[in-house]
Structure 1
Amino acid sequence: MQNTIPQSKSVAPAIIRPSVLQHSFKVEICTPTIGAELSNISLADAAQDPALIAEIRALWLKHKVLFFRDQDITPMEQQHFAAQFAELEAHPLAPSHPEADKLLMLYRNLDPSKPKNYVEKASRENIWHADVTYKKAPPRGAVLRCEMGPESGGDTIWSNMVMAYENLPQAIKQRIDGLYAKHGAEQTFGAQLPREERLAMAEKSPASEHPVVLTHPETGEKVLFVNSAFTTHFSNFFNFEDIRYGQDFMPEAQRLMNYLTSQAMIPEYQVRLKWRPNTVAMWDNLQVQHYAVADYGNAPRKMLRATLVGKPLV
């Protein structure tokens, strides 16, 4: 008797579309204040799916900084993913990656012949800051990937400057309402340059003025927008009622500026990331400040950053 059970036909393997990922990636909240880690997702595939990019963007705006682990992608794939959120720009004062012209190379301690302290002289990342706020249009955000890092140390911390504003005393909110501040690069990037080079750099990258309290262009939230690295002084601070002599004026302004820039240091506003190779962090440069902890000595480190172009704030 012949077997009457029909033989199964040969079927081509199914093609899993990247859009399927939007139903399966996981979101883990890092702290109640800031940060979320997304897992079970490939950024290379995500870049091909507009719906998934829209989901990531909504999470980015909500949590301010997103983390992705195990992203074994090429520099061009990183650049292509970042380009889904905004036009990209090269750093105005630093070199780009040879394979991806919009990626900034944050490479440290790769040449053992260099003096021990050469990185410290060139780096200003272990200070609370938002990126390049001395431009009229500061970057909208960044996508940073770790290629190689130290066995321990080298964490990055982000601070929620929306919450920093929300929690200010009401009297301080009233005092800074309508204030503007100057942001410059000369005192940070140019401080160790010979005078002629420093002046040339300042001319090429002049200071800009931004509101102390920024209204975020997408969320409408108010953000405390001053930082220790680039903000130099208030542009329109005055208090004629309490000034006896001219010497009363500047101490009050500087004390207020110091108080405002110190808000990023409050732990309750922060999230801290321990980097591993192929970890990616994506942050909103208008909503957060960050601090790259420089505690890894001369251990080599390779990071690649894509910078999202922003729009003028004033």
Structure 2
Amino acid sequence: MTLTRASIPEERHPSQIRAERLTANLGAELFDVDLAAVAHDDVLFAELRSLLTEHKVLFARDQSISRRDHVALARRFGDLEPHPILASDPEHPGLVRIYKDLDSPPEHYENAFHCDATWRACPPFGSVLRCVDGPSVGGDTIWVDMVAAYAALPPEVKARIDGLRARHSIEASFGAAMPDEQRAELHRAFPDAEHPVVRIHPDTGQRILFVNSFATHLTNYHTPENIRFGYDYAPGAAELLQYLIRQASVPEFQVRWRWTPDSFAIWDNRCTQHYAVQDYWPAVRRMERAGIVGDRPF
């Protein structure tokens, strides 16, 4: 018998990383894995990346690795980018310190569901986040599957938002707590970005609900189909945007991770949102995040 290419059994390499799902929609905890080894091994990294595509956010505990290996792992996905507000580790540019210490006043412990840095024209691909130190209780982080959030929308809402775009702003979020001159300078350095309300995942082709707490308004809502009179514009667009942003708060789309020192989360920022629960003050919480440069949403 002549074997054609189609009839030759596909060679399958045994999985070296064990992943256990945490919810029906997203999230898996990794076992039998050393992230330092993954950072320097092509086969292991390919497996990790495949798991990330499948589960959207991955978790691992007891990873006592160096900052250099933390950065090396993140750079396997792409270049790192610093944050304009949060400082990086002095020896590792792009390894952002998210330190909530005793001198951080409680009124600064606010948060919201968000997708990192959508105020950039090219928001991050994702992040590799490590818990350096955390409270004995509290301080969890919640991630949300925005593919599932889009899929669950009523058909009439999907039709209504098809083709809509939204403006995303660092000035209206981080900048809102700054003096006027500093806020204006931040806006000059990072002008508002405009993104589709529904983006397409470049690897899977899935449709993603892509609005979050950085989104300020819909930019192309004011059409004859949507507006009867001028005063329809603001409430109609604003109510629709807030309805879409609230979808991240639906528990069925979420996974919640309880941090321990040297635990890691690796997530796809293109199709998830997250919320760092700030229920632990005056305890401290110190995290280090390597954010990975992304591409322009479409």
Whether 1:234 aligns to 2:226 is no
- 1:262-310 Cα shifts (integer Å, max 9, x gaps): 0100000000000000100000001100000010011111110000110
| Counterparts of 1:100 and 1:289, CA distance in 2 | 26
1:45-68 per-residue CA deviation (whole Å, 9 max, x = no partner) reads 111111111111111011110001
**Matched-pair contact (CA < 8 Å) for 2:16–2:44:** no
TM-score normalised by structure 1 residue count: 0.88
Give yes or no for the alignment of 1:152 onto 2:137: yes
**How far, CA to CA, are the matches of 2:96 and 2:104 in structure 1?**
23
Give the residue type in structure 2 aligned to 1:51. V
Whether 2:114 is the aligned partner of 1:129: answer yes
- Whichever residue aligns with residue 71 of structure 1, its letter is Q
Aligned residue for 1:190, secondary structure, equals: helix
- Secondary structure of the 1:89 match is coil
Q: Name the amino acid aligned to 1:193.
A: M
**Unpaired stretches in structure 2, ≥5 consecutive residues:** 1-12
- Counterpart CA distance in 1 for 2:242 and 2:202 is 26
CA separation in 1, counterparts of 2:15 and 2:209?
A: 35
Aligned partners of 1:60 and 1:284 also within 8 Å: yes
User: What SS does the aligned partner of 1:196 have?
Assistant: helix
2:94 equivalent among 102, 127, 138: 102
- AA at the equivalent of 1:180: R
Letter in 1 for 2:221: F
Aligned to 1:261: 245
Structural mapping, 1:83-122, within 5 Å = 83-109=75-101, 112=102, 114=103, 116-117=105-106, 120-121=107-108
3-state DSSP of counterpart to 1:147:
strand
Q: d(CA) in 2 for partners of 1:201 and 1:116?
A: 23
Aligned to 1:203: 188
Q: Matched residues, percent identical?
A: 46
Checking the alignment, whether the CA contact within 8 Å between 2:52 and 2:267 is kept in structure 1 is yes
Note the C-alpha offset of 1:182: 0.4
Q: Who is 2:60 aligned against?
A: 68
User: Normalization by structure 2: what TM-score?
Assistant: 0.92
Q: Encode CA deviations 1:53-103: one digit per residue, 9 max, x unaligned.
A: 111111101111000111001111100111111111111322111232220
Task: Identify the residue that residue 160 of structure 2 maps to in structure 1.
Answer: 175
More off after superposition, 130-139 vs 250-259: 250-259
Is the contact made by 1:176 and 1:212 (CA closer than 8 Å) also made in structure 2?
Answer: yes
| Root-mean-square deviation (Å) | 1.6
2:132 is the alignment partner of 1:140: no
1:232-275 deviations in whole A, cap 9, x for unaligned? 01110035356443112211111110110001000000000000
8 A Cα contact 1:134 1:183, kept in partner: yes
The answer to whether the aligner puts 1:275 opposite 2:259 as a matched pair is: yes
Q: Which residue of 1 aligns with 2:18?
A: 26
Does the 8 Å CA contact 2:17/2:47 hold for their aligned counterparts? no
Q: State the secondary structure of the residue aligned to 1:51.
A: helix
Contact 1:180 1:209 in 2 (8 A): yes
2:127–2:269: 8 Å Cα contact kept in structure 1?
yes
